[in-house]
């Protein structure tokens, strides 16, 4: 009899595993949004804001902000590139930041205190929840 319950358990776990795997793949394969009016390539080329191009892109980024809210971190990276810094809050929420202008961080990567940045905070489900411009 114990052998029969093992088989029943296997028959239950396999479909459950497949359903969860399908859900994970579906959720993680989020399409990159089309952000008209925002020059993603210029943003990405201006690494750490040291080329002084990102300041000109702030207003366009603010306009597409509603389209960025709700995106998962992978989609944010597709749009803005690899974050220039990140942290993990006590609540488990991730925060990315990108520099907006040249500053001391261009010569010393550790010197980030006086730099103007945009912060993207993700919720517990890994979706962009807040986008805050530090001016």
- Under the banding of pLDDT at 50, 70 and 90, the label for residue 66 is very high
Mean pLDDT lowest among 3-7, 79-83, 108-112, 120-124? 3-7
Average pLDDT of the chain is: 85
Number of domains in the chain: 2
Could you tell me the residue range of the domain that residue 20 belongs to? Answer: 1-30
Q: What is the CATH number of the domain that holds 39?
A: 3.30.1450.10
Q: 41 and 6 in one domain?
A: no
Q: 85 and 26 in one domain?
A: no
Highest mean pLDDT among 46-60, 87-101, 104-118: 46-60
CA dihedral 118, 109, 78, 19 (to 10 degrees): -100
| pTM of the predicted structure, to 2 decimals | 0.76
Q: 88 and 25 in one domain?
A: no
Q: 115 and 65 in one domain?
A: yes
Q: 74 and 87 in one domain?
A: yes
Q: 122 and 84 in one domain?
A: yes
């Amino acid at each position: 009899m114990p052998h029969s319950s093992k088989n029943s358990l296997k028959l239950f776990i396999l479909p459950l595993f497949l359903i969860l795997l399908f859900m994970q793949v579906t959720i993680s394969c989020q399409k990159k949004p089309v952000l008209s009016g925002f020059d993603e390539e210029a943003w990405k080329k201006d690494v750490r804001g040291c080329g002084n191009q990102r300041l000109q892109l702030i207003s366009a980024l603010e306009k597409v902000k509603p389209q960025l809210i709700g995106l998962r971190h992978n989609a944010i990276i597709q749009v803005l590139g690899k974050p220039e810094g990140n942290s993990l809050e006590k609540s488990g929420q991730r925060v990315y930041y990108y520099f907006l202008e040249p500053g001391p961080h261009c010569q010393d990567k550790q010197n980030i205190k006086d730099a103007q940045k945009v912060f993207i905070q993700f919720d517990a489900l890994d979706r962009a929840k807040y986008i805050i411009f530090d001016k």
